[in-house]
């Protein structure tokens, strides 16, 4: 066996080699990350030395499912298997979902749907090295490099706190982990020990994942017992000026009705509703195969987009949640 002194010298040599390999720009980034996140430059450099560039990660982030039209995106997530498994999962952890709803005010079906969309209730948690994905995006993807470098540093810090081996944790191409697919910063800021066992484990413990998802929504201003979205009728020419790519809600229901927007009298995806004229509301157009479909979304829909900044994602979560709730209540 090698002595401690030899191991130390080998480690020091590896660190020096890694440092030498870093470009001046990378060294500057390491210095900035070290200062901002209180992670030593040695640990950051060592992590970079262990990380591998993954071209597949770059391909995936540039071709996300959210770029698909709604009629192709929705069938990926709103399926009978996801609905049925969602009901089963809800029943399996009924007490935990009820506790999360009571403590955080977030409906159980929304938490279930998030887990259904993200990982099919834990079945697909990702098979890409989190270290590799964050390194690839942080140091080789300029358009979003700053964000992913920050996640890279926070992953190193989180791994140390959790006792993870840097190279062993797997997740999505964007470095999201566990049953709810939390990125490192979200894991740190919103993860809760909902099981009460003294640690936050969203990778393997469904109880912690359920509580953490509920906490995330609560911290992002979910309004208890408020509506999410409703299908409407609209004239495409009259409402064109009301549509925008921004997710923020800048109109009221009165603005929309002035342009001829009307609630559909009935729709099996959502309950009946009366919206106050002063209610913040945003018009959303979804592309169907042969036509456009219009919805109005409210503040809670915007909260769902804080989890994933895509209206298609939020709509899939919402519609799946309603179908899971209906299926469960029908049993």
**How do residues 173-218 score in pLDDT, each as one tens digit?**
999 999 999 999 999 999 999 999 999 999 999 999 999 999 999 9
- Per-residue pLDDT band for 301 (boundaries 50, 70, 90) equals very high
> What is the structure's pLDDT at 1?
39
What is the DSSP code (8-state) at residue 169? Answer: -
Give the rounded percent of residues in the chain with a pLDDT score beyond 70: 91
Reported confidence tier of residue 268, pLDDT bands at 50, 70, 90:
low
Residue 271 pLDDT greater than 60, yes or no: no
- Report, as an integer, the average pLDDT of 8-36: 68
In this predicted structure, the answer to whether residue 4 has a pLDDT above a threshold of 60 is no
Task: Report CA Rg, the chain.
Answer: 23
The mean per-residue pLDDT over the stretch 60-72 comes to 95
Distance CA 273, CA 41 (A): 56
Q: What is the mean pLDDT of residues 311-327?
A: 98
Contact 270, 231 (CB under 8 A): yes
Inform me whether the pLDDT recorded for 21 exceeds 80: no
CA 238 to chain centroid: 34
Query: Is 17 a residue whose pLDDT tops 90?
Result: no
CA distance 56 to 73: 21
Strand locations in the chain, DSSP E? 128-129, 170-171, 229-233, 251-252, 262-263, 280-287, 292-297
Residue 9 reports pLDDT greater than 60: no
Which tens digits make up the pLDDT trace of 80-131?
999 999 999 999 999 999 999 999 999 999 999 999 999 999 999 999 999 9
- Assess whether pLDDT exceeds 50 at residue 19: no
Question: Average pLDDT in the 302-314 region?
Answer: 98
Predicted pLDDT of residue 108: 98
Beta strand 262-263 pairing with 251-252 = unpaired
Q: How far apart are CA 149 and CA 181, in angstroms?
A: 18
Contacts of 104 (CB under 8 A, 6+ apart): 211, 214, 215, 217, 218, 222
Q: What is the pLDDT of residues 117-174, one digit of tens each?
A: 999 999 999 999 999 999 999 999 999 999 999 999 999 999 999 999 999 999 999 9
Average pLDDT, the chain: 92
* Residue the block writes with tokens 């298997």: 81
Residue 12 pLDDT > 80, yes or no?
A: no
Tell me the torsion sign for CA atoms 86, 192, 194, 198. Answer: positive
Q: Across residues 19-31, what is the average pLDDT?
A: 83
Higher pLDDT, 14 or 44: 44
pLDDT at res. 311: 98
Q: Tell me the H-state helices in 105-241.
A: 108-119, 130-140, 145-162, 184-190, 206-219, 236-239
DSSP state of 282: E
Give the lowest-confidence range in 4-13, 31-40, 109-118.
4-13
Q: 17 exposed, middle or buried (CB, 10 Å; 0-12, 13-18, 19+)?
A: exposed
> Would you please indicate which residues are annotated as catalytic (active-site) residues?
118
């Amino acid at each position: 066996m090698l002595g401690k002194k030899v191991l130390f010298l080998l480690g020091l040599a590896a660190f020096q080699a890694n440092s030498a390999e870093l470009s001046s720009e990378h060294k500057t980034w390491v210095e900035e990350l070290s200062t901002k996140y209180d992670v030593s430059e040695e640990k950051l450099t060592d992590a970079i030395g262990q990380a591998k560039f993954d071209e597949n990660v770059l391909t995936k982030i540039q071709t996300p499912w959210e770029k698909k039209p709604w009629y192709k995106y929705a069938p990926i997530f709103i399926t009978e298997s996801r609905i049925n498994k969602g009901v089963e999962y809800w029943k399996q952890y009924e007490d935990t979902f009820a506790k999360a709803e009571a403590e955080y005010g977030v409906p159980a079906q929304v938490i279930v749907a998030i887990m259904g969309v993200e990982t099919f209730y834990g079945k697909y948690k990702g098979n890409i090295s989190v270290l590799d994905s964050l390194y690839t995006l942080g140091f080789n993807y300029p358009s979003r490099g700053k964000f992913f470098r920050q996640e890279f540093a926070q992953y190193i810090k989180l791994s140390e706190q959790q006792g993870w081996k840097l190279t062993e944790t797997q997740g999505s191409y964007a470095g999201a982990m566990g049953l709810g697919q939390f990125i490192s910063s979200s894991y740190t800021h919103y993860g809760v020990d909902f099981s009460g066992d003294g640690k936050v484990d969203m990778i393997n413990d469904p109880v912690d994942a359920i509580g953490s998802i509920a906490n995330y929504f609560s911290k992002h201003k979910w309004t208890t017992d408020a509506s999410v979205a409703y299908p409407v009728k609209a004239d495409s020419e009259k409402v064109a000026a009301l549509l925008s790519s921004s997710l923020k809600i800048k109109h009221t229901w009165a603005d929309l009705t002035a342009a001829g927007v009307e609630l559909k009298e009935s729709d099996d995806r959502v309950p009946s509703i009366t919206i106050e004229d002063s209610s913040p509301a945003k018009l959303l157009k979804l592309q169907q195969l042969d036509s456009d479909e219009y919805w109005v979304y409210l503040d809670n829909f915007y909260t769902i987009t804080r989890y994933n900044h895509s209206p298609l994602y939020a709509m899939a979560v919402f519609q799946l949640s309603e179908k899971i709730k209906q299926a469960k209540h029908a049993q």
